[in-house]
Structure 1
Amino acid sequence: MRYRLDVVAASVPEVVSHAGGWLVDRVMAGWDVTVLISGTEDLRPLSILGVEVQDLEVALEMWADRPHPQTVAVSADLFTSDARVREGVMNALGHGMTEVTLWGDDWPDRLDATVGSVEHHLSAAARAFKAQALAASGVDATAIGRAETFLCGATAVPSVAADLVPAS
Structure 2
Amino acid sequence: MVAPNMVDAVRFAGGWLFDRVMAGEEVLVLTADHGDLRPLRILGAHAVDLECALSSPVQGPWPPQAIAVGADSCGSDSRVRQIVLKAIDDGLADVRLWGDQKTAGLGDGIGDSPVLHRLSVAARAFKAQALAAAAAPSHGAAVVTETFRRGESLRAAGA
Residue of structure 2 equivalent to 1:38:
32
Give 1:97 deviation, angstroms.
Answer: 2.0
Q: Check whether the contact 2:4–2:32 (CA below 8 A) recurs between aligned residues.
A: yes
1:55 aligns with 2:13: no
| CA root-mean-square deviation | 2.0
Structure 1 ranges of 4+ moved more than 4 A: none
Find the residue that maps to 1:14 and give its secondary structure. helix
Whether 2:131 is the aligned partner of 1:138: answer no
Question: For the residues of structure 2 that align with 1:42 and 1:63, how far apart are their CA atoms?
Answer: 27
Match of 2:70 among 68, 72, 75: 75
Partners of 1:81 and 1:30 in 2: how far apart?
Answer: 31
Deviations along 1:2-39, whole A, 9 cap, x unmatched? xxxxx111101000000001111111111111111113
Shift of 1:73: 1.1
Q: 2:109 corresponds to which residue?
A: 113
The answer to whether the aligner puts 1:103 opposite 2:98 as a matched pair is yes
* TM-fit CA distance, 1:64: 4.8
For each residue in 1:95-129, what CA deviation from the matched residue of structure 2 results, as whole angstroms up to 9, or x when unmatched? 2222211112x123644435411010011100000
Quick one: distance in 2 between partners of 1:135 and 1:86? 31
- Cα distance in structure 2, aligned partners of 1:146 and 1:88: 29
User: Hey, what's the Cα distance between the residues in 2 that align with 1:15 and 1:39?
Assistant: 11
Distance 1:114 1:140 in 2: 31
Aligned to 2:83: 88
TM-score by length of 2: 0.85
- The amino acid of 2:109's aligned partner reads A
The share of aligned pairs that are identical, in percent, is 47
Q: Which one-letter code corresponds to 2:25 in the other structure?
A: W
Which deviates more from structure 2 when the two are superposed, residues 61-70 or residues 133-142? 61-70
- 1:147 alignment partner, one of 130, 145, 148: 145
Structure 2 unaligned residues grouped into runs of 5+: none
- Cα distance per residue 1:26-58 (max 9 Å; x no partner): 111111111111132111111111111111111
- Give the aligned partner of residue 66 of structure 1: 60
How many angstroms does 1:63 deviate by?
A: 5.9
Equivalent residue pairs, number: 150
Structure having the higher strand fraction is: 1
Secondary structure of the equivalent of 1:67?
Answer: coil
Q: Render the CA deviation track for 1:52-104: whole Å, top value 9, x for unaligned.
A: 11111111123654211111111111111111111211122122222211112
